[in-house]
Structure 1
Amino acid sequence: MAVRLQDVADYAGVSMKTVSNVVRDYPHVSPKMRERVQRAIDELGYRPNIMGRRLATGRTGLLALAFADVRIPYFAELAQVVANEAERRGYRVLLEQTEGTLEGERAVVSASESGLVDGMVIQPSVMNSTELAQSRTDIPIVVLGENAAPLTLDSVMVDNVEAARVATRHVLAHGRRRIAFAGHEETGTTRTSTLRIAGYQQALEEAGIIPDPHLLIPSLAVTAANGARAVGAALDAGLRFDGLVCRDDLAAIGALRALEERGFRVPDDVVITGWDNTPMTEVTYPSLTSIAPDMRALASRALDMLFERIDGYDGMGRHELVPFSLVTRESAPAVE
């Protein structure tokens, strides 16, 4: 049978109210008493009842985090950072995968975990802002990412156009003039890719270079294997470039393999940049220069706004940018 609050109280020799105060992280509990109750909770394996907590406090202590695919390194890191930040605030996070489909995103924002969560953070891939704003009103929602956010919802993102300009300008600073862009979708280009290509194009034009559409190398899907196939096929077809700005780190890792297999040296023959600064960028050979979003700032600001909504703030949506940096490594070293 499930361990009850009363069982913990009896085991610890305290009142149910004291156990409840510890479970709810009530601040005015002595360290000695908190340790005593926590020991009883751990030894008995007590788990608070979510519905009971909602009835008692009006909250469940749970948040939902929704995104396309946990196998994508950026989203895996996002999940970890958001979960850690939520835990610091006394909350736990439920993960939802949408598979990057309209049906998946609709399901998550309309009914997923109904009654179990106090709020949701979502990074939509395809759902438009109007539908997102109208789809759910029972819990607060904060939007991450580059898709246009509803005027009524809060959103947090990185300036993708400016970040792509920074990456491309860094490649230009290496004296490269024939710079390709790799990793965007073959069909149905996402807003993320559109913004990053726009920043890449702006940097080229500022340098007096006319962007060449033949230097856009699309990929079938966001994986390193597809990135390798796409860049390899372009090289086999005779396309040549001396710089490569990649939509994400997976595309860049695939490009490294394709170039190595065909005898091109990085960075001597081709300078490469990635995007997201995922942990694997430090151990590729050569290691990857990459755009690094400030993930901690992203998670912290998103949860700040979400908890403000949970606490009753009902103003119009706040749309905010968080910082990014370019982390230089061997594939595109710092320029003196």
Structure 2
Amino acid sequence: MGTPRLTDVAVRAGVSMKTVSNVVNGTGSASPATRLRVQAAIEELGYRPNVTARRLATGRTGTVAVAVSSVTVPYFAEISNLIDRAARTQGLRVVIEQTNGERANELAILEERERGLVDGVIFHPVALEANDLADRQPGFPLVLLGEGPAPTTVDHVMIDNVAAAREVTTHLIERGCRRIAFLGTEREASTHTTSQRFDGYKKALRAAGIRLDRRLRLSVDYYSADDGHRAVTEALDSGLTFDAIACRDDALATGALHALHSHGLAVPDDVAVTGWDDLIISRHLWPPLTTVSPDKAAIVEAALRLLDDRIHGYQGPGRHEMIAAHLVDRQSTPAVRLREEPLP
């Protein structure tokens, strides 16, 4: 069989060419079941739309971009994969762009170079400030992810980092932990996400009457298991003591667990550990990791929905959607209070 054509997809799916065209272009009113059948036929046949013809006919490319700091960061890898899979069910292709968290690269995402190459961009900025986004209104559909500032004119999908960090820290306090380290503040300037999570941690301590000990703020250069291992190892070797570690993310928690095991400390009996992001690996660590779980599927659904609205002509004010996050309680934190002494 030669290169699959639109007619081949229509025959395989048992629908008209018009229906296939609607599914591929994201138009029309085909039912979800019909769209899934067409998408299955597209995947089986390996059909790839003629981007040039589509662009001439509709003014759109059928391609969206996802811009993140790095796909080596596990959370961004999972989110990018989920966006790609969801977009394909809508007949869209996804291209991934890495900014390395550098301001110049992130500013470039907002420039006109994206116009005509893709229909829209889902963007998770790390280094940009509020005025950067307010001063540069892109001439293409854009949806922001993450907890950084966003102008009222731009669509934005986020979670409540402060509330979730307060919840996970309170979880540790309720299980008897008193000297809770926070692993993951940057040695240089903190990102918006880190600042919010550290703020939630501080609020939980304050609410419980626990004094903040700055020595328990463990800094890293990067969000990796290696950096988590290094930071916790240095803290333990220096004689610092703690009975819990609230980690900025699961990658850092992975390194923290390794460091604790290497020093003969039992988790959670000696030190409890929590993470953030509920990565696939978190449930397979030992012990399985208690972690904050953002609803990643809901984040992806909201981002693609808002972007699709913009692509199809919505020009109203920015929609800011808060997505739920919940605590997943696993064996890296104790099931009952370990310590019964009064709060300091």
Equivalent residue number for residue 89 of structure 1: 90
Equivalent residue number for residue 20 of structure 2: 22
Equivalent residue number for residue 201 of structure 1: 202
Give, in angstroms, the shift of residue 97 of structure 1.
0.8
Give, in angstroms, the shift of residue 265 of structure 1.
0.9
Contact 1:50–1:116, Cα closer than 8 Å, also in 2: no
Q: Tell me the SS of whatever aligns to 1:312.
A: coil
For these two proteins, the number of residue pairs brought into alignment is 325
Equivalent residue number for residue 192 of structure 1: 193
Q: 1:93 to 1:39 in 2, by over 3 A?
A: closer
Q: Point out where structure 1 has 5 or more consecutive residues left out of the alignment.
A: none
Deviation string 1:206-225 (CA, Å, 9 cap, x unpaired) is 00011111110001211100
Q: Tell me the SS of whatever aligns to 1:252.
A: helix
Equivalent residue number for residue 75 of structure 2: 74
Give, in angstroms, the shift of residue 40 of structure 1.
10
Identity of aligned residues (%): 43
Q: Point out where structure 2 has 5 or more consecutive residues left out of the alignment.
A: 338-344
Q: Distance in 2 between matches of 1:208 and 1:329?
A: 26
Deviation string 1:33-74 (CA, Å, 9 cap, x unpaired) is xx99x989976x653221320210222211111110101110
Contact 1:23–1:48, Cα closer than 8 Å, also in 2: no
Q: Distance in 1 between matches of 2:283 and 2:8?
A: 52
Give, in angstroms, the shift of residue 83 of structure 1.
1.7
Q: Distance in 2 between matches of 1:115 and 1:135?
A: 18
Give, in angstroms, the shift of residue 92 of structure 1.
1.9
Equivalent residue number for residue 287 of structure 1: 288
Equivalent residue number for residue 258 of structure 1: 259
Contact 1:133–1:150, Cα closer than 8 Å, also in 2: yes
Q: Distance in 1 between matches of 2:43 and 2:128?
A: 42
Q: Distance in 2 between matches of 1:153 and 1:20?
A: 33
Equivalent residue number for residue 310 of structure 2: 309
Q: Tell me the SS of whatever aligns to 1:280.
A: helix
Give, in angstroms, the shift of residue 160 of structure 1.
0.3
Q: Tell me the SS of whatever aligns to 2:84.
A: helix
Q: TM-score, normalised by structure 2?
A: 0.86
Give, in angstroms, the shift of residue 116 of structure 1.
2.3
Equivalent residue number for residue 116 of structure 1: 117
Deviation string 1:118-140 (CA, Å, 9 cap, x unpaired) is 11110000112332244353211
Mapping 1:89-168, distance limit 5 Å = 89-168=90-169
Contact 1:68–1:124, Cα closer than 8 Å, also in 2: yes
Q: Distance in 1 between matches of 2:233 and 2:9?
A: 65
Equivalent residue number for residue 341 of structure 2: none
Q: 1:253 to 1:316 in 2, by over 3 A?
A: same
Q: Distance in 1 between matches of 2:236 and 2:57?
A: 63
Equivalent residue number for residue 298 of structure 1: 299
1:144 partner amino acid: L
Q: Tell me the SS of whatever aligns to 2:308.
A: helix
Equivalent residue number for residue 57 of structure 1: 58
Q: 1:48 to 1:206 in 2, by over 3 A?
A: same
Q: Distance in 1 between matches of 2:9 and 2:100?
A: 46
Q: Tell me the SS of whatever aligns to 2:66.
A: strand
Q: 1:183 to 1:48 in 2, by over 3 A?
A: same
Q: Distance in 2 between matches of 1:181 and 1:79?
A: 27
Contact 1:289–1:333, Cα closer than 8 Å, also in 2: no
Deviation string 1:184-217 (CA, Å, 9 cap, x unpaired) is 2111111111000000000000000111111100
Contact 1:292–1:325, Cα closer than 8 Å, also in 2: yes
Contact 1:181–1:246, Cα closer than 8 Å, also in 2: yes
